[in-house]
Each structure stands twice: as structure tokens, then as C-alpha cells.
Amino acid sequence: MKSSTEPYSTGGFYSSNLSVTPEVRSQLIDILNQTLATTLDLKSQVKQAQWNITGANSYHLYELFDEIATELEVCIDLLAERITSMGGLAMGTTRTVVRQSILPEYPVQMMESKDHVVSLAERLAIYGTLLWENIDRTSVLGDSDTAYLYAEVSLVIDKRLWFFDALIVSAHVGQNQQVLSHN
């Protein structure tokens, strides 16, 4: 008998009429569950930044972070639904997230808005890389639907990462202009 702390094995499935072999389905469910855990972690880190942001533009960033958390919630549901449609068990508990997320721990002591922007941009980039890798991995396994799901999520993340990069560049330009004006 398995202990309650032992990770779920995707070797057993719920009934499904998908046209993929059990071995491939098991691999797909594992890939999706790791992405689910990482997405849940990313959402919690975005909320951590939102709750604790201070400084210039904090209200606008607060709203932006809330929008991103909402978008991630949609992605979380899509990933979990894909797992269960394949007959798998969506693993989204906090303990599972801690074990499976690829993101680094969020630096909780920072308060300045620019620090939160940089930290979240780093995490979005890591997450975006995971999505691109999983587009390839699921395509190789022959699951175009899951690859398409990853591509859709990737479009959302790439757009947000582009926006964060613009915020970082504008912050650096603003700092450089302040230095130039003092010379």
C-alpha cells in the first residue's frame, strides 16, 4: 500500500478513449502535471509581488500583477482539464507544487516595484522556456492538442514577458536620464 506522502504514479488511468498508448499518455500526464505545478507556483509568486509592492507606479503594477494572476488561473484550469481529459489525476496541492515546480523561491523581503518587476520577469522567462520545451516534447509524443495548448499559454506569457522587459528598459533609461541631468 502506498503512503499518503508518496507521489502519485500516472501508471493507472481513468477511462479514456484517447488514441494514445498508455505509455505515451503517462508521459504526457507527467509533463502536464509538472507544468501545472510550475504554473500554480508562478501564480502564487505573482500574488506575493502584488500584495507587497510599494513605490512609484505601485498601483498600476498592482493591477497588472492581478491581471497576470487571473490569466494564470485560466491556464491552470486548462492544464488541469487536459490532464483529466486524458484520464489522469491533476496534481495541484501545495505539497505537489513544492516538489515539482522548476521556479526558484521568490525573494520575499523585497518591496520596491522595480525589484518585483525584475524578479517576476526572471520567473516568466523560466516558465516561458518550459512551455517551449513542452511544445516540442508533446509534439514528439504525437499529441498536437497538448502542444497547441502549450502554444496558447506561451503566447500569453510571451506577451507579458515583453511588457516586463519594456518596464525594465524604461526603468534603466529613467535612471540614466537622472544621472545625465545631474552631470
DSSP 124-178: HHHHHHHHHHHHHHHHHTT-HHHHHHHHHHHHHHHHHHHHHHHHHHHHHHHHHHH
Q: Which of 41-50, 65-74, 129-138, 172-181 has the weakest average pLDDT? A: 172-181
In a domain, 154, yes or no: yes
Considering the domain boundaries, does residue 15 fall inside one? no
Describe the crossing of helices 22-52 and 58-85 by its angle, rounded to 10 degrees.
Answer: 160
Q: Is 51 exposed, middle or buried (0-12, 13-18, 19+ CB in 10 A)?
A: exposed
Instruction: Write the CB contacts of 128 (distance below 8 Å, at least 6 apart in sequence).
Output: 154, 157, 158, 161
Look up residue 120 and give its three cell numbers.
517576476
Share of the chain above pLDDT 70, in %: 84
Classify residue 66: in a domain, yes or no: yes
Angle, alpha carbons 137-142-146 (nearest 5°): 65
pLDDT at 112 over 90: no
**DSSP letter (8 states) at residue 88:** -
Q: Is pLDDT at 177 greater than 90 in this prediction?
A: no
**Domain presence at residue 10:** no
**CATH value at residue 126:** 1.20.1260.10
State the Cα angle at 85 between 84 and 89, rounded to 5°.
15
Residue written as grid cell 505539497: 95
pTM attached to this predicted model: 0.86
Domain that holds residue 81: 22-182
153 occurs within a structural domain? yes
Is the pLDDT assigned to residue 15 strictly greater than 70?
no
Average pLDDT over every residue of 122-139: 98
Residue by residue, DSSP assigns 43-83 as HHHHHHHHHH-BSTTHHHHHHHHHHHHHHHHHHHHHHHHHH
Q: Per the domain annotation, does 6 fall within a domain?
A: no
Let me know if residue 94 belongs to a domain: yes
Residue 50 is predicted with a pLDDT of 95
What's the pLDDT band for 170 if we cut at 50, 70, 90? confident
Inform me whether the pLDDT recorded for 3 exceeds 70.
no
| 146 in a structural domain | yes
Q: What pLDDT, on a 0 to 100 scale, did the predictor assign at position 12? A: 60
Domain count, the chain: 1
Supply angle C-alpha 53, 72, 109, rounded to 5. 25
Confidence of residue 19 (pLDDT cuts 50, 70, 90): confident
Q: What is the per-residue pLDDT for 14? A: 64
Assess contact for 14 and 86: CB atoms under 8 A: no
Tell me the pLDDT band of 163, cut-offs 50, 70 and 90: very high
